[in-house]
Structure 1
Amino acid sequence: YLLDNMVWMISDSTGIMPSVASAAGFEQTSYGWFEKPFLPGAGSQGSREFRKLYKSQKRRKLGYRYGYPDGSEAKHSHMIVTRKKK
């Protein structure tokens, strides 16, 4: 429903996986940092995709906490802006 009806969305790593967003014509911009999910047993595919997304982009500072922290000991704040590709 979201990908069929949204223009943009702000989320943390519980949002839409990069491969799914890209296939639907969206791009994602990352803020903060992400190492691993906070939920025990969260899907490894999504975890790999979000780590790859964060490593592929310049690091953008996130000066506040948004959503859930990641599951690392540092509990990094992270945010993802998903929007239609230009």
Structure 2
Amino acid sequence: MSDTEMMLSGYGLTLAEFTYRMPDYRSVLNTFSWQLFDLAPDYPKLFKFIEFWQENIEGPLHHVRFTHRKLIAPGEWRNCVGEFRVH
């Protein structure tokens, strides 16, 4: 499926930031950023990657922070009825 077809099917861009402990130095934290098209609110690809990380990567996860944005959505429109001018 192409990116455009995925967006029309409801997929949006998901950006995840993984903070994990270094395998040899547990007190040192490192980050890893990852982005992909995923389907909200279940996020099947993101959770599959988290399971992969926990099973195959030696550095244990400290926390995961993610955001999601649909790229094809109704445009934002605001009606402005006044204007202020400052020198």
- TM-score normalised by structure 1 residue count: 0.24
Larger Rg computed on CA atoms = 2
What TM-score results when the alignment is normalised by the length of structure 2?
0.24
Kindly indicate whether structure 1 or structure 2 has the higher relative contact order, using CA contacts under 8 Å at least 6 residues apart: 1
